[in-house]
Chains A and B, each alone.
Chain A
Amino acid sequence: MSAIRLEGVTKSFGRGKVTAVKGVDLTIADGEFFVLLGPSGCGKTTLLRTIAGLELADRGRIRLGERDVTHLPPRKRDIAMVFQSYAVFPHLTVADNIGFGLRMRKQDKEAVAEKVRWAAELVELADHLDRYPSALSGGQRQRVAVARAIAVEPSVLLMDEPLSNLDALLRLTFRSDLKRLAKDLRTTIVYVTHDQAEALSLGDRVAVMRAGQIVQVDAPMRVYDHPATRFVGGFIGNPPMNFLPVRVDRACWGPRGRIGDQDLALPAGVAAHAGRALLAGIRAENLEPTTDPTPHALAATVRVVEPLGSQLLVTVVVGEHTVKLLTANDFPVEDGAPLWLTPAPDKIRWFCPDTEAEVTFGEGDPGPGRVVSAGGGSPACPD
């Protein structure tokens, strides 16, 4: 159990041709479940492997607790890791797999056996200790990998997309098991995933990465509700956030937002910035659709209706922009029909069209840990 501090960690491959991680500064608290989220190729796995010591950082320092481990090999870092491909040793039984780390640490036989039983019970594998991994299912193999990692009681537990090789149903059960396990163990966990559902459901905090840099570090709901950039809003959420360019016009009765030739009701803070171009980010579930003409609503035409079971995913066209919205599964809608959309005004997020960073207007705190400064009340966005 220890905190992790990364200071300017940089890692590149191919003699500096590809920079996978660019000067990442990050502090992960003791006992925190920390998720690194990002699209494939954003450097999240490289960052994890650098913490593990499987890659050595080109620049920067890595501290685990009080120790500087930047130049230590993996075995001296007091970490454990769960690999995406499980990496369970096929030539050892389940018990020997779980006890591998302990035996390498030269613990005596009885202590190893006891720890193995304890770890196996935590992941519900106690009945399979004598089997070889080839006799286990994918989910069970992943449990072996998790048990092997927790058996050594590491100060930091690293997980590299541990659920991505499991089928959808198993992933869901394993996810909740993992969350319970993390609560019980109180170990510092760094978890890498490209699956936003995993990130939001598991993490105490989520770091969103893009092109080797961290874009936003926040609590899961904060990342979802207040994406720091357009990229985060578009990456997190299923379907992704809708983005509509809005011009703030001064009309004779006061400022109003214009999307194409339609009006959009503006919250008070935004209305003060007449003449600006902004990008409105609206989540699919924050658009209230009606089939009858509604005042102050955006007129749209339905393109596609996709039933998702509990909800309907409707793709509509507003002016020239495609917008996706979620609605109740009994909502009467069909292809080609007109639809009126009323966005929830306090759920609209504003982004600068040039920098793509979030713009706030003095209402509410932009939140701690924001890496890309969106500026509270004084947006760093050219008018």
Chain B
Amino acid sequence: MIILSIPLAVFFLQWGIYDTVWAVALMHTALALPFVVLIVSSVFVAVPVELEEAAQVFGCSRPVAFVRVVVPLALPGLAAAATFAVLTSYNEVFAASVLTLQNPTLPAFVLNGLTMAPLPFRYAGALFLLAPTFVFIFLIRRYLLGLTGRAL
């Protein structure tokens, strides 16, 4: 990634998206995508075909059957993939630091701001960085993974 970072920065400068949300978003999507594809594809494969066929027999077209039956059943798995993607992005500071100047991500901002700070401040910064992840995980568990009880 260190090798990639220079050409990436050059490209993003040329495209005019350097130091924007889009630059970091593109980079982090590229990082998370392979694993998310793996997780999500296995999640969709796990939904029985018969359920989709039953939906079609009882009045759904294929897209409607997907939305009304497959997506609700895949939701816990999709939530897991989403959690992974968010944490990958949140955990990533190198690309976020290289590709931004004025608009870094929160972890990149904290990291850059505290490199020269005394140790207690750095610990405090790390502690506060934990808070959003806790909130996110709590929400995911509460509203999405909780559905597993009635899944398949």
- Cβ contact within 8 Å between B51 and A87: yes
B contacts with A, residue count (CB < 8 A): 21
- Cβ contact within 8 Å between B51 and A75: no
- Cβ contact within 8 Å between A91 and B56: no
Binding site secondary structure of chain B: helix
- Cβ contact within 8 Å between A148 and B50: no
* B34 beta carbon closer than 8 Å to chain A: no
Q: Which residue of A lies closest to B51 (CB)?
A: A87
Q: Which residue of A lies closest to B69 (CB)?
A: A89
Give the docked Cα–Cα distance between A75 and B54 (Å): 10
- Cβ contact within 8 Å between B48 and A75: no
- Cβ contact within 8 Å between A87 and B50: yes
1/0 per position for A123-144, CB-CB distance to B under 8 A? Answer: 0000000001110000000000
1/0 per position for A30-74, CB-CB distance to B under 8 A? Answer: 000000000000000000000011100000000000000000011
* B residues less than 8 Å from A132 (CB atoms): 149-150
Give the docked Cα–Cα distance between A74 and B151 (Å): 25
- Cβ contact within 8 Å between B56 and A87: no
* A80 beta carbon closer than 8 Å to chain B: yes
* B residues less than 8 Å from A84 (CB atoms): 50
- Cβ contact within 8 Å between A87 and B59: no
* B residues less than 8 Å from A81 (CB atoms): 53-54, 57
A contacts with B, residue count (CB < 8 A): 25
Give the docked Cα–Cα distance between A94 and B64 (Å): 20
- Known: A90-B151, A134-B150. Is A85-B60 also a contact (CB below 8 A)? no
Contact of B59 among A54, A85, A91, A104 (CB under 8 A): A104
Give the docked Cα–Cα distance between A75 and B64 (Å): 11
* A180 beta carbon closer than 8 Å to chain B: no
* B residues less than 8 Å from A73 (CB atoms): 56, 61
Give the docked Cα–Cα distance between A133 and B135 (Å): 32
* A residues less than 8 Å from B129 (CB atoms): none
Q: Which residue of B lies closest to A79 (CB)?
A: B57
* A152 beta carbon closer than 8 Å to chain B: yes
Give the docked Cα–Cα distance between A85 and B50 (Å): 8
Give the docked Cα–Cα distance between A29 and B61 (Å): 29
Which of B50, B54, B149 has most chain A Cβ within 10 Å? Answer: B54
Give the docked Cα–Cα distance between A364 and B152 (Å): 55
* A residues less than 8 Å from B99 (CB atoms): none
Contact of A83 among B53, B60, B64, B69 (CB under 8 A): B53
* B126 beta carbon closer than 8 Å to chain A: no
* B72 beta carbon closer than 8 Å to chain A: yes
- Cβ contact within 8 Å between A54 and B72: no
- Cβ contact within 8 Å between A54 and B60: no
- Cβ contact within 8 Å between B50 and A83: yes
List, sorted by A's number, 5 A–B pairs whose CB atoms are closer than 8 Å.
Answer: A54-B53, A75-B56, A75-B61, A91-B73, A104-B59
Q: Kindly list 17 other residue pairs between chains A and B, CB separation below 8 angstroms, not including A83-B53, A89-B51, A152-B58.
A: A53-B57, A54-B57, A73-B61, A74-B53, A75-B58, A75-B60, A83-B50, A84-B50, A85-B50, A87-B48, A87-B50, A89-B69, A91-B69, A91-B150, A100-B55, A100-B58, A134-B150
By a beta-carbon cutoff of 8 Å, the part of chain B in contact with chain A is: 48, 50-51, 53-61, 64, 69, 72-73, 147, 149-152
Nearest 7 A-B pairs (CB), nearest first? A104-B59, A101-B58, A87-B50, A87-B54, A91-B72, A132-B150, A81-B57
